[in-house]
Amino acid sequence: MRLVLGFLAALLTTAGLAPPAVAAESRPIHSYADAIRETTWVETGTDNDHDGEPDRVAADVIRPDTRVRVPVILDVSPYYACCGRGNEQQKKSYAPDGTPLRFPLFYDNYFVPRGYAVVLADVGGTNRSSGCFDDVASGNAVVNWLNGRAKAFDAPDGGRAVTAAWATGDVGAIGKSQDGATAIGMAASGIAGLKTIVPIEGVADNYAQVIGNGAPFATPENTGSSFTYNERAAELCKPFEAGQKARAGTNGDYNDYWESQHYVPRAGQASVLIAQGFGDWVVAPNQFARYWDALGRAGVPRKAWLSQAGHTDPFDLRRAEWVETLHRWFDRWLLGLRNGVERAPAVHLETAPDRWTDLRSWPPATLPVTLRPSAGGALGPTGSGTASVVDDPAVTREQWAAGVSAARFTGPPLPAPVRIAGSPSVTITASSDRTAARLGVALVDYGPAETRNTAEYGSGIRNLTTRSCWGSGSDADSACFLDTVADVVRVDHRIVAAGWADLGHHASLRHGEPLVPGRPYPMTFELTALDHVVPAGHRLGLLLGGTDGLLFDPALPRLGDTVTFDLSRTSVTFGLTKPEH
């Protein structure tokens, strides 16, 4: 029966017709061992490295050996040679003749037998690609090639032209961290053929990723992508990198460059399955929250996996359930199988380590609550007095929570558990004795708890020595991956949201200004998004500090200022509701 259906699908595809949805899900009917493995070098239409030749992105392809055209799962990454992917940091490997042998992660092992091609593309200037770091252009070039709109060759310097006659042209872009940011950017570009994206801990607003409301997190020389470059690009792309940094600026101002890197207002039309950890301090969850809201406003089909972990792939949190979800998602949007995944609950939420629930929407309907600090250390409905903090860039927000180098305020014990969900905000009124000041704010749950270990960029998981297998493999590319378990620690507090700002940008993110020493300035900004249950008996805390030693680069200028907060005009606002369970 499967052979008959496959033959029918081939005839319909050849005739230019879409095959009917004949199964609830794709099945592993293709041989992984006999899959075609090849590399094509796709022209991007640019010459960013100024070598006089078109930039070419290396796209490593593994696809079923079949006459039926297949859709593509695409991961565009700068990390395939320098850093690896997944919790085992897998890198690509090649045969002596250059044929790709190992494709990191499980996508090839699981999906190629099910009738998908998997393409892992090197961002310009990384691994085997020429050009410079232009991630969205790199991914879009591959999508264009898969749809017959771009040239590709079988050698890095040209050679024989290669077409993707085997591809349907339908593409799903997936990836974690930078790879996820690239997928989001590709969707924002409106590239034809991109049907769905699966960003995992991905960035949607590049300004917010490297600058906290006017306060750059690092010096220009310690930002950017140069650490991922191959040896050739490391030299040729110096002018390109210098130009990018000049466009970005060094004063923390939001400008036209950052506007071009802001994907939230251009949510795109591709469906989105997104994953985010609320304990992620690498890509903070406000990246997810803003993008999720924009997708909803645009009417884009969307689904989210939200955990309490750090910068972690759902594959390493709830493996079987994630693979099933991903399988159904790609079947729906790349194969057109009407499996109803878009009608399932929109949000899969982890409420505590390894405890999950399904929700129809996020964030939930909440009651806005505003709390204010008082000079005696209380946090409640009214505020009064002042508090001064001497900025010390060596002190971290975790030390602030212990009462070091920050003003700490706590409320009374809660009589019942409450759930805080969404994106809190703070309004600060502060003055500095210098012409500049950095601000750091944190919302804290004080009380004993067992939680995933994410406090100082922890992932919230740890590897075991056992392995589980997902699909078919080979000697060079195993389908078996280290199992994981929740890394749970006992704590007496947890920072559940935080935010940072430059007080000189109090009036506008586009134009910072020197402060007049002693003059108070009001400033309102958002904290990182959260979904957290505060148990009964715990206290909510608010921390007011300066430079956060966990986030800011020690090479930044030491301001040496004292910030004085007007507590009567300082507050934190968040959404409150009852816990789901």
**Do the Cβ atoms of 552 and 217 come closer than 8 Å?**
yes
Sign of the CA dihedral running 237, 238, 240, 241: positive
DSSP-assigned beta bridge partners for residue 61 = 38, 119
Compute CA 90 distance to the chain's CA centroid, rounded to the nearest angstrom. Answer: 19
Which residue among the candidates 49, 179, 205, 280 is catalytic per the annotation?
A: 280
What is the rounded distance in angstroms from the CA atom of residue 309 to the CA atom of residue 486?
Answer: 9
The DSSP element (H or E) to which 180 belongs, if any, is: helix 178-189
Cross-sheet strand order for the sheet of 488-502 = 407-410, 539-545, 438-452, 488-502
Which residue among the candidates 138, 177, 405, 459 is catalytic per the annotation?
A: 177
In 347-453, which residue ranges form alpha helices assigned H by DSSP? 397-401
**Do the Cβ atoms of 394 and 386 come closer than 8 Å?**
no
Contacts of 231 (CB under 8 A, 6+ apart): none
Farthest CA pair distance, the chain: 81
280 is catalytic: yes
Of 544, 574, 32, nearest in space to 286 by CA: 574
End-to-end C-alpha distance for the chain, whole angstroms = 46
Cross-sheet strand order for the sheet of 194-200 = 158-161, 152-155, 36-43, 56-63, 117-122, 70-77, 167-176, 194-200, 271-277, 302-307, 347-352, 355-359
What is the rounded distance in angstroms from the CA atom of residue 222 to the CA atom of residue 565?
Answer: 31
DSSP-assigned letter for residue 20: P
**Do the Cβ atoms of 571 and 368 come closer than 8 Å?**
no
What is the rounded distance in angstroms from the CA atom of residue 196 to the CA atom of residue 268?
Answer: 10
CB neighbourhood size of 104 (10 A): 21
Contacts of 444 (CB under 8 A, 6+ apart): 401, 493, 494, 495, 496, 540, 541, 542, 543
What is the rounded distance in angstroms from the CA atom of residue 573 to the CA atom of residue 425?
Answer: 5
Which residue among the candidates 262, 311, 327, 532 is catalytic per the annotation?
A: 311
Catalytic residues: 177, 280, 311
